[in-house]
């Protein structure tokens, strides 16, 4: 199960990098902005849900391994941070961006305000941090270390 978790994490990382840094820019180059944004949003949503599933699996697999070896490790904390960032981006920030696009109300937007560009920038930064964090975690999983 540990190796499968590592493979799935690697697949998610490839998806994360492919969608964010290859597919989305190509969509915006070749399609009308609203259409490209809609398609990119679908890809980002799918990537987020897959990431949440994969990293929960990796986390619980690692916890089981940790209990068997009776050691104290730190990888779990990094995975929890990654999961939190993925969840924040998907369940808090993405709805704000969608509210901006559709002109509808959103509780977080009403509470904090901010332009579409600002929220999109925050989302982009979180996405980049998730990519780097995911890369580090996948490298650690490939080494089969749980520290």
What would the pLDDT profile of 17-70 be if each residue is shown by its tens digit?
999 999 999 999 999 999 999 999 999 999 999 999 999 999 999 888 777 665
pLDDT of residue 145: 55
| Domain residue spans of the chain | 2-142
Burial annotation 19-44 (CB, 10 A radius, 16+ → b, else e): bbeebbeebeeeeeeeebbeebeebb
Q: How far apart are CA 124 and CA 26, in angstroms?
A: 16
User: 75: closest CA among 63, 89, 57?
Assistant: 63
Tens digits of residue pLDDT in 76-124: 999 999 999 999 999 999 999 999 999 999 999 999 999 999 999 999 9
State the pTM of this model. 0.91
User: 110: closest CA among 101, 99, 98, 102?
Assistant: 99
Helical ranges in the chain per DSSP H = 2-18, 24-30, 33-69, 75-88, 94-102, 107-112, 116-142
Question: What are the DSSP calls for 101-123, one per residue?
Answer: HHT---HHHHHH---HHHHHHHH
| Contact between residue 146 and residue 35 where contact means Cβ atoms under 8 Å apart | no
- In sign, the C-alpha dihedral spanning 42, 43, 44, 47 is positive
Q: How far apart are CA 14 and CA 131, in angstroms?
A: 9
Measured at the alpha carbon of residue 90, what is the angle toward residues 34 and 56, in degrees to the nearest 5? 140
């Amino acid at each position: 199960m540990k190796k499968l978790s590592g493979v799935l994490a690697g697949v998610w990382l490839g998806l994360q990098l492919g969608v964010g840094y290859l597919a989305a820019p190509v969509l915006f180059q070749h399609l009308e902005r609203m259409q490209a944004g809609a398609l990119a949003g679908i890809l980002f949503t799918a990537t987020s849900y897959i990431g949440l599933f994969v990293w929960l699996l990796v986390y619980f697999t690692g916890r089981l391994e940790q209990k068997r070896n009776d050691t104290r490790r730190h990888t779990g904390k990094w995975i929890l941070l990654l999961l939190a960032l993925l969840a924040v981006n998907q369940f808090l920030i993405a709805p704000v961006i969608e509210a901006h696009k559709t002109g509808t109300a959103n509780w977080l937007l009403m509470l904090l305000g901010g332009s579409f560009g600002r929220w999109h920038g925050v989302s982009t930064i979180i996405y980049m941090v998730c990519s780097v964090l995911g890369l580090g975690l996948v490298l650690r999983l490939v080494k089969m270390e749980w520290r």
